């Protein structure tokens, strides 16, 4: 795990992209934690994406799509790997990378980013789709089964 602190201009970038996404995207009945607003969910996601791009050397996909990104890469690394980033604001021990089956795409890499508001991000190791499948287990926390990898 590697840590990074975002600069004020980087935070402004994250806020801008998150605002564009929330203004465009229809969240419907998608699960969002009780204590996190839809905007905060988008903000944490963009912060995580930027943290991964900075740590591993890549570019954030800044696309704003009305129906979501359908699990295309959030970050493209300089070596060409496509990364799906999952952000979490959980600060306790045993943080987990959680994916739905439909998010598993052959050739995709996955990365968990812990957001420590307001500006710190902890970025965990990249994991390939194949390695995630081998290392994860199925859990249901009351909102559907997910594949879970505990760190």
Q: What's the whole-number mean pLDDT along residues 99-117?
A: 95
Q: Specify the pLDDT at position 34.
A: 66
Question: For residue 28, what are the domain limits?
Answer: 2-150
Q: Is the peptide bond before 107 cis (omega within 30 degrees of 0)?
A: no
Q: Specify the pLDDT at position 69.
A: 60
**Tens digits of residue pLDDT in 115-132:** 998 999 999 999 999 999
Q: Is the peptide bond before 103 cis (omega within 30 degrees of 0)?
A: no
pTM for this entry: 0.90
Contact call for residues 89 and 115 (beta carbons, < 8 A): yes
142 or 54, greater pLDDT: 54
The count of domains in the chain is: 1
């Amino acid at each position: 795990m590697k840590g990074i602190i975002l600069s004020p201009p980087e935070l402004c970038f994250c806020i801008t992209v998150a605002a564009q996404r929330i203004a465009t995207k229809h969240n419907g009945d998608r699960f969002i934690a009780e204590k996190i607003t839809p905007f905060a969910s988008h903000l944490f996601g963009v912060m995580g994406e930027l943290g991964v791009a900075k740590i591993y050397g890549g570019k954030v996909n800044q696309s704003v799509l009305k129906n979501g990104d359908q699990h295309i890469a959030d970050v493209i690394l300089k070596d060409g790997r496509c990364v799906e980033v999952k952000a979490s604001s959980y600060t306790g021990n045993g943080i987990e990378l959680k994916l739905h089956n439909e998010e598993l795409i052959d050739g995709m890499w996955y990365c968990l980013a812990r957001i420590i508001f307001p500006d710190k991000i902890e970025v965990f190791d990249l994991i390939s789709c194949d390695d995630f499948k081998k290392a994860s287990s199925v859990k249901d926390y009351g909102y559907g089964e997910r594949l879970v990898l505990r760190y």
